[in-house]
Every structure is written in C-alpha cells, then in structure tokens.
Amino acid sequence: MTAAQRHRVTVIPGDGVGPEVTRSAVRVIEAAGVAVDWEEAEAGAEVFRRGDSSGVPSETRDSIERTRVVLKGPLETPIGFGEKSANVTLRKLFETYANVRPARELPGVPTRYAGEGVDMVIVRENVEDLYAGIEHMQTPDVGQCLKIISRKGSEKVIRYAFELARREGRTKVTCATKANIMKLTEGLFKRVFEEMAPEYPEIEPEHLIIDNVAHQFAKAPAQFDIVVTTNLNGDIISDLASGLVGGLGFAASGNYGAEVAIFEAVHGSAPKYAGRDVINPTALILSAVMMLRHLGEHAAADTVENAVFVTLESGAAVTQDLARQTGGDIEHAASTTGYTDAVIANLGRRPANPPRGRGHVRPAQSPTPRPAWSYAADAYGRISRRLVGVDVMIESDLSVAVLAADLEAAAGPALRLETVTSRGTKIWPGEVVGDSVRWYTGRFVAPEGGVEPDEGEILALLGRIGARHRWTQVERLQAFDGQDGFTKAAGE
C-alpha cells in the first residue's frame, strides 16, 4: 500500500481520558500523511448509561463490520458490579483471539533495567479462559467462574505467536501456564504448545510456570523474546512487562483476529485526569503505529515511531508521569496537547540512540488454524468416551455425616457415593477439614465393574437428591480414550 491510498478506520474515543489520547493519535497519524476516513463510534460507559447492557451498540458493530480496523480509547469497566466489560465484549464479538503487547526499552524513559535490552512481546489468548465471563452464584455466598480452555483456541493463539516469531526473526517462544495446578485446562494449553513447536524448528520452545515467569521478569527480563499464555495470565504479566519499560503510559497493544483488528492502549480510562490535558498519549500513539503496520503503512509507522523516540530522547516535552519518574518539574510538565505537538514537530527525524532490539515490526498473518487431532471431524469421531458418573453440587446446612448418609441413600442401584468434597477438598469419608461454606459436591460413580449409568439413572438420582436437598449444578464425569477427563479432590 502507499500513502496515497485511503483507509477506513472505526475510531472509538472511549471514556475518561480516552477522547484526549485518541485525539492525539489521530492528529499524529494525519500529520504523518496517512489518508484515513474515520468513522467515529461509541462504546463503554455512556452506552451502559443509556441502558444497552452490552456496552457496544449495533451502530458501532456495523461500523467495525465495514472497516475491519479499530482505533480505540480506553473504556470504563465497573469493578465488582454492572455488566460485562465493553473491552472484552468487543474482543469476543469479533474473535480477536490474539492480544499482542510489546514491551521494549524506550529512549529517555528511566527504568531499573536501562541498557539491558528488554525487548519482548506478550501474546495473550484473548477470548477464552476465565474471561469467557461465565459466572454463577451457586448459593447466596458462593460464586463460581468457569475456566474455558479449548484446543482450537489454544492452537490459534500459539500458532500466531510462532508465526510472529518467524516473521520478526525472533528465536524463542516461551509458553507460560499454571499447568502444574490446573492440569486439564492450563495443561491443555501446554500440551498444544508442545505438539506445535516441532513445526517451527528454527525457534526455541520453552515452557515456564507463570509464577516463575513473573519472577524472571523482575530478575532478568531481557531473556524473554515472545511469551504466549492464557488470557488471565497474559493480562497480568503484560502489565508487569509494561512496568519494566516505563509503565502503562507507554504500553501499546493490538487485538488481532482473522477479520478484524482493534488497537488500544493498555491503560485504563483514568477518570480523575479526564479533561485536564495532562495524560501521556504515548501508549495510544504507539498502538496507532501497530495499526499503521497492520494497514501496510510501514514507512509512516516508522516515521511516527521515530518521532516518538526523538521526543522521549530529547526530554523537551515530558508529561507528568515521566516527570515523576525522572524527578523533573511536574508543575511545568508538558500537556497532552503539547507533547503531541512535539511528536508532530519531530516527524521525519531519527533518534540519536534508537532502542536496542527489533521492537514489534509487523503483525503475523492471522493463520487459519490447521485441524488438530481432537477437533478434526474424522479424528474427533474416533475418540472413545465413557460416562464414569456425575458430580452434584449441593447447598446444605447439614453436618457432613448427615449429608453423606442422605446422599448414600439417594444413590440408588446404578451409582454409589464415592466422596463428598468442599471447595475441592475431600471431607468424606474420613476427617472433616476446612470451614463450611454451605456448598458441597457429592461424587457419584458406577460401582466397581458396573455398567455405564444411563441418562434415566442420572435424572432419577437428581430427582431423589432434589426431594431432600437444593442441588445447584451437575457435572458429567467422562473418560476420553481411557483417560479421566476430571480431577480428584485434595486428600484423595
């Protein structure tokens, strides 16, 4: 593409400081000579206030369907109440499954790791995990959130990470999981990574437990190249990574899918600074650089990125967050507008000491996932299944001994009560441990050597339990190709 070509982009100004940083990014893009037809759209707090529980109105969805590219300011997310995050909704609606967050040492930004060459990219799975947002109140005081990890979702983001490494000439991809504890969910992500790594023989694959990744980030962050991880892990460690290179004011990100890409700063809406013209717009300007590369405007992207580097290197226009870090004059720090003016004035210049490393050069092509054995239609159909039993979650004020006796009596001829657990710990048979939270799980399995229970027997079991107790949920216990598809409780 050339600078003469016009691009259509949906721009969502956002909440809080969003309109200010978005205006800065748009000004810089236009000053760099990129021709963009902007379609302004809404999402976030104002939409929620009007009664749209999604936070993303149909007009915004229509615009994104047309343009396929979004530049977005931060959106306000209520904490602990209200509807789902509009940020998460946008990512899920358009299946932008790869969240890409570079963390690179920047000139003029003091850090504890200056000179070590920190230059990594966090690739975070973006639509699954706990962020699927499937939550239930099991009782008035016990909440549950389902952690969803699929083989297909894992393969898509892991392949994206390897393709990105190949495209940029990076030599290592680190998979970060908590597979030592969550063996079926995080463990699946790890297994998919290990299955796919041989397809990229020139790239070193590495697996680390996520808490060790956090430890190593603090200890020696320059060892990392590309880190691929699950959604919640990625959200946390990408913020940690931004802290290594100056903070959220410098943290850019792109959300990539097969059809749509959404570019946004990592930081939030910071409502206490809204309208004061003091926020650092670097994060969204660098997100716009990622957007320009996505659009094929590589020369303009380089021009804008170099102008940011020159501005930071010179120290002539220092926003208040950077002034605090450097011990500078906060009272006379550059405004958002003044900093943006400085970046525009520096377009066409190059820094005297550019950052070490590659930075985030180009997005990987969003690959069409190749069928893996577990979801290719022919192989999927060959997986053997066996129903072992059911877990039934129950709300009760009874003592464990009385509850267990009742559940044993309810089991019937086709099933037997194997254990009663509380929050993942076995409390029957044997010693009762832990505090009661009025929520228990009875595990019912077929007797040793017995036949697989049928649907009628499971429904009859639930009817017998329901006649005496309030049950809140049932989970099927299945074995696939002879391997248990469920975990045991602590103490078993």
Cα–Cα dist 281/265, whole Å: 9
Helix, coil or strand: residue 417:
strand
230: Cβ–Cβ under 8 A, 6 or more apart, which residues? 124, 125, 128, 129, 149, 177, 186, 189
8 A C-beta contact, residue 261 and residue 68: yes
CA separation (Å) from 382 to 149, 375, 424? 21, 11, 32
Tokens linked to 423: 């929050």
Cα–Cα dist 236/258, whole Å: 25
58: Cβ–Cβ under 8 A, 6 or more apart, which residues? none
Mind spelling out the 3-state secondary structure of 27-80? Answer: HHHHHCCCEEEEEECCCCHHHHHCCCCCCCCHHHHHHHHHHCEEEECCCCCCCC
Catalytic residues: 131, 178, 211, 235
Tokens linked to 326: 């450097």
CB atoms near residue 169 (< 10 Å): 9
Question: Of 35, 39, 37, 30, which is closest to residue 10 (Cα–Cα)?
Answer: 39
Cα–Cα dist 363/262, whole Å: 12
Q: Do the strands 416-422 and 439-445 form a parallel or antiparallel pair, or are they unpaired? A: antiparallel
Cα–Cα dist 230/207, whole Å: 13
Q: Exposed, middle or buried by CB within 10 Å (0-12, 13-18, 19+), for 157?
A: buried
CA separation (Å) from 395 to 51, 83, 418, 419? 34, 26, 18, 16
8 A C-beta contact, residue 242 and residue 103: yes
8 A C-beta contact, residue 269 and residue 74: yes
Query: In this structure, what are the phi and psi dihedrals at residue 8, rounded to the nearest 5 degrees?
Result: -105, 130
8 A C-beta contact, residue 193 and residue 207: yes
Containing 263, the helix (H) or strand (E) segment is strand 261-265
